[in-house]
Amino acid sequence: MKGRFPKLVVLSAVGLFVSAVFGPAMAADTIKLGVAGAHSGDFASYGIPTVRAAELVVKKVNSSGGVLGKKVVLFVEDDGCEPEFSTNVATKLVSENVDVVLGHTCSGATKAALGIYLDSKIIVMSSSVNKTALTLSGDYPNFYRTIANDDAQAELQVMYATKHLKSKKVAVLHDKGDYGKGQAELAKKYFEKAGVEVVLFEGVIPNTVDYSAIVQKVKRSKADLVSWGGYYQEASRIVTLMRKKKMKTLFMGADEIKDEIFIKAAGKAAEGVYVTGPNDVSKNQMFIDAKNAHQKAYGSDPGSFFDSGYAAALTLLSAIEKAGSTDYNAIAKALKSQYFETPIGKISFDKNGDVLGAGFAVFNIKNGKFVKMDAK
C-alpha cells in the first residue's frame, strides 16, 4: 500500500448506475453505507471478507425494500491498514456524505480516522478492531464494534494457559504495533496477576528476514509458552523457526492469526498453535445462510471477520431503520437500547460501544484446522 493513495470504489448492490457526482436528489433517495479498511496488501485477508459481507447484506436489504424505503448504496475505501491513508479515507467518505461507516480493519488506522468521523457526527462500527482503549477512553463516543475487546481476550488467554496448559513461565512477544503491543501489555498484566512468571517481554521489528535472535532469547528464557501480540506474518515466521530448532515451547496468539492464511504461511509449524478468536457461530442459522450466500456469490467460504462484518453491516442498517432516521443521536440511541439478530447472535451495545452478546473462544490447530477447545 505504501507509495499510493487508496481509490474510492462505489458499489451498488442492486446494479444501479451511480454517478460520480451526487446531488440532493441522490442524497434524499439513498442510504449511504461507507466501508473502510484493508482491501489490498498484506492485511486484505482481514478486510475483504467484511466488504463482501457488506455487499451481501446490502443486496438482501435492498431486495426487501431497502432501509426507510430507500435503496442502500455502498462506498468502499481501501486504507491498507495505514493510519496516514485512513485519514484520507475518512475525509473522502465524509465528503460523500455517508450516513454510517463499517470499518476500519486495524486499530492504528481506526484511531487515526475516528476523530474525523466524530467531527461530522458519523457512527463507525468495526468488525475486527478490539483495542480496549478505543471504547473505554471515552474519546470516541461514535465508535462501536461487533467483536469483544482485547481485555476480554487477554483474560481468556491467561485463564486457558494457566488452567489447561499449566503454564508457569511465559515469553510475551509483540510486533510493536498499536494493536500488537497493546494486546501484549494486557496479556502481561493478566499473566502476572495470575502468578505466572513473565520471563521475557519484547517487541520485534515487522518484516524482519531472520527472527533467530528473538527465538534464541525465548529458548534461553526456558518459557513453556509464547504469548504473541500481533499479526500472522511475524507469528508464522517465529513459530516456524521455533519448530526448526526443535523447540517444544507452546505458542498462543489472538484473533488476528485465527485465519487460514496463518496456517498456510506456517505450514506444519502451525500444528498445535493455540488461538483465541470470536465464538464459533457455525450452527447459527443466520451465519449458515450468510455463508451459503457467500459461496454462491464468490465461489468460496468466507474468511476472517466475515460473520462479525455481516453483523456490523446488518446492525448499522437495522439501527437506522429502528431509529427512523439517519440522525447521529437517533442511531446511537437505537444501538444502545435495542437488540439486533445477527450471525454472531442477538447483540446490543453498552454505554461505551462495546458489543454485548458476543465473545471469544479458544481454538487449537489440528490437522490444518481450527478446533474449538473446552475453555471452562
β 340-342/345-349 pair status:
antiparallel
pLDDT at 28: 63
Which residues are bridge partners to 203 per DSSP? 174
Torsion angle defined by CA atoms of residues 83, 303, 363 and 104, in that order, rounded to the nearest 10 degrees: 20
Residue 123: name the closest of 310, 288, 335 by CA. 335
- The domains of the chain, with CATH numbers, are 8-147+305-343 (3.40.50.2300), 150-279+361-372 (3.40.50.2300)
pLDDT at 143: 98
Q: How far is 58 from 31, CA to CA, in rounded Å?
A: 10
DSSP string, 198-227: EEEEEE--TT-S--HHHHHHHHHHT-SEEE
Total-model pTM = 0.80
- Report the Cα 20 to chain-centroid distance in Å: 30
pLDDT tens digit sequence for 199-243: 999 999 998 989 999 999 999 999 999 999 999 999 999 999 999
Q: What is the pLDDT along the chain (376 residues), one digit of tens a residue?
A: 333 333 333 333 333 333 333 344 444 699 999 999 999 998 999 999 999 999 999 999 999 999 999 999 999 999 999 999 999 999 999 999 999 999 999 999 999 999 999 999 999 999 999 889 999 999 999 999 999 998 989 999 999 999 999 999 999 999 998 889 999 999 999 999 999 999 999 999 998 989 999 999 999 999 999 999 999 999 999 999 999 999 999 999 999 899 899 999 999 999 999 999 988 898 999 999 999 999 999 999 999 899 999 999 999 999 999 999 999 999 999 999 999 999 999 999 999 999 999 988 999 999 999 999 988 8
Q: How far is 26 from 239, CA to CA, in rounded Å?
A: 52
CB-based contact 75:54 (threshold 8 Å): no
Q: Is the peptide bond before 104 cis (omega within 30 degrees of 0)?
A: yes
Angle CA(45)–CA(132)–CA(52) in degrees, nearest 5?
25
Provide the CB-side half-sphere exposure for 60 (13 A, CA).
17
